[in-house]
Structure 1
Amino acid sequence: MTNLSTKTDDKAELASKVNDWVDAEEGYIDRRIFWDDAIYSLELERVFARCWIFVAHDSQLPEVGDFLTTTIGEDAVIVSRGEDGKIHTFLNSCSHRGNRVCFAEVGKARRFTCNFHGWSYGLDGSLKSVSRPKSYDGKSNFDKSRLGLHQARVESYKGMHFACFDPDAPSLEEYLGDFRWYLDVILDNDEGGIEFIDGNIKSRLKCNWKFPAENFVGDSYHAPWTHSSALIAMFGKQPTMRPDRSYHANANGHGWEFGLDFIGNAATLNSPQILEYLREHEAKFAERLGKVRSRMVASLSSANVFPNLSFLAGHNTFRTWNPKGPRETELHTWVFLNANAPEELKKEYRRGVMLTFSPAGVFEMDDGENFENCTAVNAGVVTRRQKLHAGMGLDSRIEHEELKGNVHQSQINEANQRAFYQRWADLMNAETWADVPVR
């Protein structure tokens, strides 16, 4: 069982060792960060409880009363569209005895009522009523205004809603930084933006959440090897990656590795309709995004918004890696497409993601086995003492006249992984956001 109570002195001692765990300059990572309970406990506090975490897309909550439930770290939360029309995010834990207030994954409600003692909360999390209110008459410190469900800050970027429990965290705009320029490749390549297709897949992996997150932030190195049989079955050969026309780009731990092949990822969905749609709109994408970014719209690529929101352009899937202890992760997967795209493309994208990146998908089964083994093998005492190496491309940083952020030549690289772990280390080592450097 994970120990989630770390004393202040223990936190300081742990934080003092962060620079020993992550050496981003040389590319060495301590294996204990994937296994140690005390590190995981501090991680929940210093990463998940104070970063901006994706909670919902606008299209998932179109009307007042629409809600969904999810987690931020291991904190259960309700995300709802309030009577004010805004998105609210608050703890899914009653202020009276801590019971879960809402057990549904998604739905529509006027209020959220705890089934233990009948305390009832509004769509904004405020306490509206209690059962037997006269029981609180007389001497009592009962104050409804102070007993609502604890609120997170909510800010949005082009329909993507993020929540943060740290009042001192920078704005979402600052948090994303230059990475917004890259997010626009999928969020804003069409004037209508994107929409999420109804429903999502939830699955469990016996792995530390950081392994899949760092895989998506920049590991194209594994694709020709891990996914060789699937790629050969689909294409009859391995896709060609051009080092001179592919890159790693990162900012504040967010990263995207990509080629400029335009449809490499989309081609694996095995849908002529999707490829036809992309080719018909290539000129419009270029007009809106510029030539370089238009070539990224469905290219061979992967990306991660720190800490745990990953996506695949072209496959059109978002996923979050939700920690359930240091050795287990719950994966939430959604399918999206341009809101103005033809209705018939919805089933094409849904079917394509099921083929490739679902629990039974040809790529995800390969990846899941690797992530689980990477975690399980670190149980060994001697094994955990050995550092992992992530030193590919240490001298690959370039200046690029069009690309933003920290840019490295070639998507076969580990620059984004090093940036991911550096951001993790910066947060783990910082007592407050003021101590977290901008990178």
Structure 2
Amino acid sequence: MTSYTNPVLNDGTRISDLIDLENREVKMRTLSDPELYNLEMKKIFARTWVFLGHETEIPNKGDYVVRDMGSDSVIVARSGDEQIYVSLNVCPHRGMKISTLDGGNASTHLCIYHGWAFKPNGDFIGAPVEKECMHGKTRTKDELGLKKARVAVYGGLIFATWNIDGPSFEDFLGDAKWYFDTLWCRTIAGMEVLGPPQRFVVRANWKTAAEQSASDGFHTLTLHRWLGEVGPYAKKPDAEGKGGDLTPEMYGTEVWTEHGHTMRCIELDRKIRRLTGKDPATLTPEEKLTLLPPPGITKEMVPELLSRFSDEQLQLMSSRPPQVGNFFPNGLFEFIYLPQPDGTVLGAMALHAYVPKGPDKLEFVNWILAEKDTPPEIKALMLRQSIQLLGTSGMVEQDDSDTWPHQTIASKGAMSQDITLKYQALYENGRPANWPGPGYVGEGFTKDDTQWQWWLYWHALMTA
């Protein structure tokens, strides 16, 4: 049974004082408090499963990348046994960082300080001048390896946790896995990254980005309103000078789970009707998927979908698939349908991680993906358009990354630190009839339930 300690900050504030569970409000102080940030590194990033990258970034034996699990640098490496290992990037001898590079290929990871050597799986090989036993005789070589995390590879995605005896990765995903399978496990060949991830630093607390990634749909209507003016939803201005209306895109189904994973499932009927002129109600899931394949899937791949998923999952994929959502604590995924000038639709698939770099700094990391079997010319187009829209200088991300620093700065004010973030727009109509999947589900205009669930799990971890 989980016990709750409700830690107290140095000024006497309890963690539970920062969240009003009854009124669904969170004090802005949470977005910049240094003491709270240090607790998050221990209670969240050292205890949950953290997304680190994709297995196709390290396809060969000895390949590695250096990533972060909260405030800890780690080496993500493919060892000689073809397995992926995640090891703390700290030499157990004198605390030197083992790898100072972003990645590469190495059969041995060598500490530049005193020359201690480690295998890609983290095992200690030895120190220079073997006959002098410069690693000493107090500890065995087995005891001197790099600290190893627990690793899960899911649909090519690499996750790790320091919580060695904690919940399994499947338990951590919970009900979200039923939906995530339709995104990450669609084909036999699987996905690949289209080059290394883009990265840039934002002067903002990691939670400003992460709580938005928990399926905040409402901000699209205002922060990204240009989509209705010059983007794919634009139309000829009316007599009042107004462009396209984004409001219809705010309706759909939203799913949230116990562990703070969420997604927005947006109806495809309007797209199918506009593209084909056919009535979606008269079409089977197979016909819908063939007319409008999921982002990143070609018509030639549709038979694979039909063989890999249940009727209920195919119903979801062909009617209201997850298009935007998150992995708790700091990951976001986007599977977006991009209309093309010739009337066709191109898929964009991106993954973001909002890596904590301090109470008021995060690193934005962006991966662009495609199915391995996608034709090269389509991959090239997907990469270009995905970067233009969702990359570090993309039109959407320029909007988002402008708001987060303002929130962080405001949260430091003597008065504003006690102002509350409010999550009080609730779904009131219950679970939609005949919804095929598990989890908590709301239908209609986008609401706050998904983001509030993100904060509820944050609160549970911080007080556990």
Q: Per the shorter chain, which TM-score range? A: 0.7 to 0.9
For residues 266-309 of structure 1, the C-alpha deviation after alignment (integer angstroms, 9 at most, x for no partner) is x9xxxxx9999757369544664412223455x7x421110011
Select the residue among 306, 315, 325 that pairs with 1:291.
315
Please give the residue correspondences for 1:102-113 in structure 2 after superposition, counting only pairs within 5 Å. Answer: 102-113=99-110
Using the TM superposition, give the Cα deviation of residue 398 of structure 1 relative to its aligned residue in structure 2, in angstroms: 1.7
- Classify the secondary structure of the residue corresponding to 1:12: coil
Using the TM superposition, give the Cα deviation of residue 358 of structure 1 relative to its aligned residue in structure 2, in angstroms: 1.7
- The reply on whether 1:124 has 2:157 as its aligned counterpart is no
Select the residue among 25, 39, 64 that pairs with 1:67.
64
Please give the residue correspondences for 1:368-387 in structure 2 after superposition, counting only pairs within 5 Å. Answer: 368-387=401-420
The amino acid that maps onto 1:293 is M
Using the TM superposition, give the Cα deviation of residue 220 of structure 1 relative to its aligned residue in structure 2, in angstroms: 0.9
- Classify the secondary structure of the residue corresponding to 2:457: helix
Please give the residue correspondences for 1:224-263 in structure 2 after superposition, counting only pairs within 5 Å. Answer: 224-235=221-232, 236=234, 237-241=244-248, 245-261=252-268
8 Å CA contact 2:256–2:453 kept in 1: the answer is no
8 Å CA contact 1:248–1:411 kept in 2: the answer is no
Match of 1:4 in 2: none
1:282/1:193 CA distance change after superposition, 3 Å: closer
Match of 2:177 in 1: 180
The amino acid that maps onto 2:48 is C
Select the residue among 284, 299, 304 that pairs with 1:280.
299
The amino acid that maps onto 1:233 is V
Match of 1:101 in 2: 98
* Distance across 2 between alignment mates of 1:138 and 1:178: 47
1:251/1:196 CA distance change after superposition, 3 Å: farther
Match of 2:80 in 1: 83
Name which of structure 1's ranges 285-294 and 139-148 shifts more when overlaid on structure 2: 285-294
Match of 2:370 in 1: 337
- Classify the secondary structure of the residue corresponding to 1:422: helix
The share of aligned pairs that are identical, in percent, is 25
- Classify the secondary structure of the residue corresponding to 1:131: coil
Using the TM superposition, give the Cα deviation of residue 330 of structure 1 relative to its aligned residue in structure 2, in angstroms: 0.4
- The reply on whether 1:208 has 2:205 as its aligned counterpart is yes
For residues 335-384 of structure 1, the C-alpha deviation after alignment (integer angstroms, 9 at most, x for no partner) is 01112211212211211122111222111111110111111111211101
* Distance across 1 between alignment mates of 2:140 and 2:270: 58
- Classify the secondary structure of the residue corresponding to 1:335: strand
The amino acid that maps onto 1:224 is L
Aligned residues: 412
Match of 1:428 in 2: 462
Using the TM superposition, give the Cα deviation of residue 98 of structure 1 relative to its aligned residue in structure 2, in angstroms: 0.9
* Distance across 1 between alignment mates of 2:190 and 2:136: 55
Match of 1:306 in 2: 328
8 Å CA contact 2:127–2:134 kept in 1: the answer is no
Match of 2:343 in 1: none
Using the TM superposition, give the Cα deviation of residue 223 of structure 1 relative to its aligned residue in structure 2, in angstroms: 0.5
**Alignment TM-score, normalising by the size of structure 1:** 0.87
1:138/1:318 CA distance change after superposition, 3 Å: closer
Please, which runs of 5 or more residues in structure 1 have no aligned partner? Answer: 1-9, 268-272, 431-439
Match of 2:442 in 1: 408
* Distance across 2 between alignment mates of 1:39 and 1:137: 40
Match of 1:37 in 2: 34
For residues 212-247 of structure 1, the C-alpha deviation after alignment (integer angstroms, 9 at most, x for no partner) is 111121111010211112442123223453666433
* Distance across 2 between alignment mates of 1:133 and 1:139: 10
- Classify the secondary structure of the residue corresponding to 2:77: strand
Match of 2:164 in 1: 167
- Classify the secondary structure of the residue corresponding to 1:363: helix
- Classify the secondary structure of the residue corresponding to 2:411: helix
* Distance across 2 between alignment mates of 1:217 and 1:53: 15
* Distance across 1 between alignment mates of 2:362 and 2:380: 28
Name which of structure 1's ranges 72-81 and 183-192 shifts more when overlaid on structure 2: 183-192
8 Å CA contact 1:249–1:404 kept in 2: the answer is no
Match of 2:428 in 1: 395
* Distance across 2 between alignment mates of 1:173 and 1:309: 17
- Classify the secondary structure of the residue corresponding to 1:156: strand
8 Å CA contact 1:254–1:420 kept in 2: the answer is yes
Please give the residue correspondences for 1:344-383 in structure 2 after superposition, counting only pairs within 5 Å. Answer: 344-383=377-416
8 Å CA contact 1:356–1:364 kept in 2: the answer is yes
Match of 1:13 in 2: 8
The amino acid that maps onto 2:330 is N
8 Å CA contact 2:63–2:104 kept in 1: the answer is yes
- Classify the secondary structure of the residue corresponding to 1:233: coil
1:400/1:159 CA distance change after superposition, 3 Å: farther
Match of 1:147 in 2: 144
RMSD: 2.7
The amino acid that maps onto 2:349 is N
Using the TM superposition, give the Cα deviation of residue 95 of structure 1 relative to its aligned residue in structure 2, in angstroms: 1.0
For residues 21-77 of structure 1, the C-alpha deviation after alignment (integer angstroms, 9 at most, x for no partner) is 223453211111111111111110000001101123222222211111100001000
* Distance across 2 between alignment mates of 1:281 and 1:261: 20
Select the residue among 26, 44, 50 that pairs with 1:47.
44
